[in-house]
Amino acid sequence: MAENTENTLKTTQSAAEILHRRAMLLAQRAEESAAEETFFDAVLFQLAGETYALALEFLQDVLPLHEITPVPCTPAFVAGIINVRGQIVSVLNLKVLFNLADADDARPRNVLLLSNGEMRFGVAADYVFGVQRLPKSDLQPPPPTLEGFKGEYVAGVTSKMTIVLDAGKMLADTRLIVQETV
């Protein structure tokens, strides 16, 4: 009988240890999830001397911009089209869309390919800095003085004056779809 009690005690202790380890793992995962929720990963790029950011969840690719084909009868904010692995993708010129004055009139070097599964287009960028993790708590609301498309697509501004764009809103905006016939 004493042997059964001893085995039951050992089983209870090992079960308690297993449960304690599981609880610690679950607590660690919850802490990691909470930490991830306070930050977001974004690609930082330059347009007309200003730093912009787009959430990585919508970024499909960053490509060098070698050649862009202009398309007649499109709005001025459509820079043209490019061939991406056999698919034709339109490229937007945010400098025109946001009415940005570019002192040195830099030629875009890169295209940020954005997609939400339904819509896909590229955004011309003067320079891509890379990916950075930005704290959500650092994001301030956009200034009320922003007008037009820029005011609609700015999600906020960081303390380092990085303008965070809402790529989801851009991809969902039907005004950016060109469906004109000549």
pLDDT digits (tens, 9 = 90+) for 78-103: 999 999 999 999 999 999 988 887 65
31: number of Cβ within 10 Å: 10
Q: Is the pLDDT of residue 10 over 70?
A: no
Residue-range definition of the domain harbouring residue 7: 1-37
pTM: 0.74
Q: Where are the beta strands (DSSP E) in the chain?
A: 39-47, 50-55, 59-64, 78-84, 87-92, 110-115, 120-125, 127-135, 154-157, 163-165
Confidence band of 46 (pLDDT split at 50, 70, 90): very high
Q: How far apart are CA 65 and CA 52, in angstroms?
A: 18
> Between the CA of residue 111 and those of 2, 26, 146, 176, what are the distances in Å?
75, 41, 24, 17
Q: What is the mean pLDDT of residues 121-128?
A: 94
For residues 52 and 137, membership in a common domain is answered with yes
The total number of structural domains that make up the chain: 2
The two three-digit tokens of residue 47, written as one number: 């347009």
For residue 5, the model assigns a pLDDT of 52
Would 80 be classed as within a structural domain? yes
Would 181 be classed as within a structural domain? no
For residue 88, the model assigns a pLDDT of 92
Would 153 be classed as within a structural domain? yes
Q: Is the pLDDT of residue 54 over 90?
A: yes
Confidence band of 182 (pLDDT split at 50, 70, 90): very low
Rounded to the nearest integer, the mean pLDDT of the chain is 83
Would 143 be classed as within a structural domain? yes
For residues 2 and 65, membership in a common domain is answered with no
For residues 13 and 84, membership in a common domain is answered with no
Q: Are 125 and 138 in contact (CB under 8 A)?
A: no
For residues 70 and 3, membership in a common domain is answered with no
